[in-house]
Structure 1
Amino acid sequence: MNADCIVIGAGPAGSCAARKAAQRGLKVLCLEKEKFPRAKPCGGALSINAVKTLDCALPAYVQEGFAYGIRAHYGARVLEARRAQPIAVLVRREVFDTFLVDKARDAGAVVHTEEKVLALEETPHHVTVRTTRGEYRCAYAIVAHGAQGVLNRRLSGPSRTGTRWKAVTHREAASVLWPSLRSKDPVLEFYFDAYPNGYGWVFPLRNAFSIGVGGLHGGPLSTRKAFLNFMRRLHGPKHSAYRGGTIPCCGIASVLGTQRTLYAGDAGGFGEAFSGEGIFYAMRSGQLAADTIADAMKGSIKGPLPQVYRSQCLQVLGDNLRYAAFFARWVYRFPGFFVSLFARRPVWAQEFLGIPLGETTYKHFLLKRFSLGLLGHSGP
């Protein structure tokens, strides 16, 4: 099969890229090595900002519940902040990702699962993709196969000058952990003393909790050991199966593609350094990559393909990714101070919840509150 665009990977970045490219009138093939539905290490909190990125409603069967705020812990210090409207939808990735693949198919993209890409060869005129089933040719390709994909090792991929998040996650029946928690409250619960340069989390699903630890790579405590310590703290079962993953947090990488290939999602380093969120940035970067290629097919872009794409990513995602990294450096150096600071200034905490809602960005929030507040401003 020849195509206008081949998308490698059918996670949120790849599925959204395939859907957008098909909606733009391109002949699209999406290749995924796994069988769907498939398990995926993830906390499962889908920000409302990410939901807004979808051009379709999120059906009820995908929704595990809603979170209306956060509760943050550091030792005896506790911060709570809530909004009247949800700040996040809780999902199970095996269900959510399958939904995105189905939407890509509905838009006209051809999706092959259980077909692993082995190599990608680019010429000035086309891209050849070799897989476990055969060989395909296309005008352009989007690499969206995650941080550990085979093409990251064999090609000159994004320049990863940023850092990485390491995380492990686990799903436990609600009945096991309810006695250990205040209640099955519809908030996202964070423990900033559970992992160096990161946090532990407890998110309420429909009949379970999503539990995990994660943070910027390089702390003195292993992620596995931190998770086991956190489960003991929650009085969870002694033997809890868990899965881990890596999230590259490169800001906007200096290299995001070649003449005919673009990188999206974790393959492009689009992880957010403070929270470790990747889904919103994966979906949005996939859409931007598809739009850039569709414009190239129509001859309406000016300049090299990867530079045009990177410029779009800077404009749409740059404020959050760059300023989240700055915020992470300070919060994870002094987590107790920041939990106490936000607890004393509830208006700040309320405004911070505007980030997952898409009302504001890390840049606007930090410039408004910290450039003034930490320099002696005493206003609300």
Structure 2
Amino acid sequence: MKVWDAIIIGAGPAGCACAYDLASAGKSVLLLDKAEFPRIKACAGGLTMKTVRALCYSIEPVVRQSIDRMVLEERDSSRIPVKSRKTICVMTERSELDAFCLAKTIEAGAVFQRIQGITGIDERADEVVVTTQDTVSRGRFLVGADGVNSQVRRMTSDSPWFRKAFAIEANIPRHALDEDLVFDFAPVASGYGWVFPKRDHVNVGLYSLDADEKLNRTRLSTYIANRFGNSARPANFIGQHAGFGAAQHHIDRDRVFLAGDAGGFVDMLTGEGIYGAVISGQSAAAAILSDLNQKALAKESFVRLTENLRQNLGIAERIATSFYANPQRGFRAMKMPLLRSAILKGYADGLNLSVLVKTARRLLPDRA
């Protein structure tokens, strides 16, 4: 039986980022997923520029709209417009993005197969055996990039560190080229509503860290009607959990690694998941390459390569807890030009959050 250099479960942004780098380096990669692509996937589809730059290829063919301004709305109905000289983020449709990235990954040399589900994972001294309902595959390493409900995580990790939030979204057909990107902190106590323009439609959703919020289709429909009027006709309602906890995860497996939502690499403050998916997937690839090339053990490399990301996610969790308890504090910061610039840079370009926290404490010592 063929022994692959790596088996990757999940062909979303994390899995494709990992598989692309390994295949591009000439390694044998088996990429497995239950879905047929293009697939419907709950995701607002916004990619910050740090994410766009992290990818190893241009995604211009699937960019719907580029955004250089946004509006933050407070619970007291005040609005803070934010404008940048550079692009803050780009809008995509997740089904188009995933299919595009998978095609690029297959072009790089990865082998893609659909599966019905994983029934067993056996990590041995020098390989991992993955059993599905269809077949048995052997690989030197296994990467679980199979989303928030990861089978790989459940089969290989004692995961009290892992936590979930929830979001629900829908689309409204309308001309959206002049529509602002909006984060609205009024409708959800421990989260926000969003409006993401995508040329021929607007993606609208609600995100919450609190399971008691009970976000559902009725609540989102009410929010849409209040915001856009009763004539708005939302469609394609879909909900999805997001995975957190990478900052608290003690990585202890030698040949099995978790990436993206499966590994809790979502930013709790913003709900951004694709950046963490790409970086953690690429880190898993680099760690595997270091081991295959006999430079360093994969586990040691993966811990080191994800350290900065995991630290930032830990800081984001602490900021989220403070911010959602008292959003007015964050809005005071956004009204200060220096802090607003730092916050925008952190969101769009990946400023280290420890620097942002130190700046906030210096400028707002009694509020930080």
CA, structure 1 residues 99+160, in 2 after alignment: closer, same or farther (shift >3 Å)?
farther
CA, structure 1 residues 89+158, in 2 after alignment: closer, same or farther (shift >3 Å)?
farther
Provide the alpha-carbon RMSD of the alignment.
2.1
Task: Tell me what 2:276 maps to.
Answer: 281
Task: Tell me what 1:223 maps to.
Answer: 215
Cα distance in 2 for residues equivalent to 1:167 and 1:292: 32
Cα distance in 1 for residues equivalent to 2:234 and 2:366: 49
Task: Tell me what 2:312 maps to.
Answer: 320
Q: What letter corresponds to residue 330 of structure 2 in structure 1? A: F
Mapped contact 1:160–1:253 kept (Cα < 8 A): no
Cα distance in 1 for residues equivalent to 2:334 and 2:137: 56
Cα distance in 1 for residues equivalent to 2:41 and 2:307: 28
Superposed CA offset, 1:248-270 (max 9, x none): 22142423351211111111111
Task: Tell me what 2:356 maps to.
Answer: 365
CA, structure 1 residues 69+123, in 2 after alignment: closer, same or farther (shift >3 Å)?
same
Map 1:119-134 to 2 at 5 A.
Answer: 119-134=120-135
Name whichever of 329-338 and 155-164 sits farther off: 155-164
Consecutive unaligned residues of structure 1, counting only runs of 5 or more, are: none
Cα distance in 2 for residues equivalent to 1:12 and 1:256: 21
Superposed CA offset, 1:181-230 (max 9, x none): xx833x42011011121000000002001110002133x42111542331
Pair 1:354 & 2:355 matched = no
Q: What letter corresponds to residue 314 of structure 2 in structure 1? A: R
Task: Tell me what 1:207 maps to.
Answer: 200
Structure 1 residue 376 displacement after superposition: 5.9
Pair 1:247 & 2:242 matched = yes
Task: Tell me what 1:39 maps to.
Answer: 40
Map 1:101-112 to 2 at 5 A.
Answer: 101-112=102-113
Map 1:326-337 to 2 at 5 A.
Answer: 326-337=318-329
Map 1:45-56 to 2 at 5 A.
Answer: 45-56=46-57
1:330 partner SS: helix
1:22 partner SS: helix
1:129 partner SS: strand
Pair 1:152 & 2:153 matched = yes
1:193 partner SS: coil
Identity of matched residues, %: 25
Structure 1 residue 310 displacement after superposition: 1.9
Cα distance in 2 for residues equivalent to 1:221 and 1:254: 26
Task: Tell me what 1:77 maps to.
Answer: 78
Q: What letter corresponds to residue 26 of structure 1 in structure 2? A: K
CA, structure 1 residues 359+33, in 2 after alignment: closer, same or farther (shift >3 Å)?
closer
Structure 1 residue 162 displacement after superposition: 5.6
Task: Tell me what 2:303 maps to.
Answer: 310
2:167 partner SS: strand
1:172 partner SS: strand
TM-score, length-scaled by structure 1: 0.89
Q: What letter corresponds to residue 343 of structure 2 in structure 1? A: F
Cα distance in 2 for residues equivalent to 1:240 and 1:100: 26
Pair 1:2 & 2:6 matched = no
Task: Tell me what 1:174 maps to.
Answer: 174
**Number of aligned positions between the proteins:** 362
Of 259, 263, 282, 2:254 maps to 259
Cα distance in 1 for residues equivalent to 2:89 and 2:69: 8
Structure 1 residue 68 displacement after superposition: 0.8
Cα distance in 2 for residues equivalent to 1:104 and 1:343: 39
Cα distance in 1 for residues equivalent to 2:37 and 2:142: 22
Mapped contact 2:45–2:93 kept (Cα < 8 A): yes
Q: What letter corresponds to residue 287 of structure 1 in structure 2? A: Q
Mapped contact 1:39–1:94 kept (Cα < 8 A): yes
Q: What letter corresponds to residue 333 of structure 1 in structure 2? A: A
Q: What letter corresponds to residue 150 of structure 2 in structure 1? A: G
Map 1:6-21 to 2 at 5 A.
Answer: 6-21=7-22
Task: Tell me what 1:345 maps to.
Answer: 336
Consecutive unaligned residues of structure 2, counting only runs of 5 or more, are: none
CA, structure 1 residues 127+251, in 2 after alignment: closer, same or farther (shift >3 Å)?
closer
1:30 partner SS: strand
Task: Tell me what 1:89 maps to.
Answer: 90
Structure 1 residue 362 displacement after superposition: 2.0
1:96 partner SS: helix
Superposed CA offset, 1:278-329 (max 9, x none): 1000011001001101111122115xx43431222113x1342122112111
Cα distance in 2 for residues equivalent to 1:318 and 1:263: 13
Task: Tell me what 1:161 maps to.
Answer: 161
Cα distance in 1 for residues equivalent to 2:328 and 2:248: 31
CA, structure 1 residues 253+264, in 2 after alignment: closer, same or farther (shift >3 Å)?
farther
Cα distance in 2 for residues equivalent to 1:47 and 1:321: 16
Cα distance in 1 for residues equivalent to 2:316 and 2:365: 20
Superposed CA offset, 1:58-80 (max 9, x none): 23x30010111220112321111
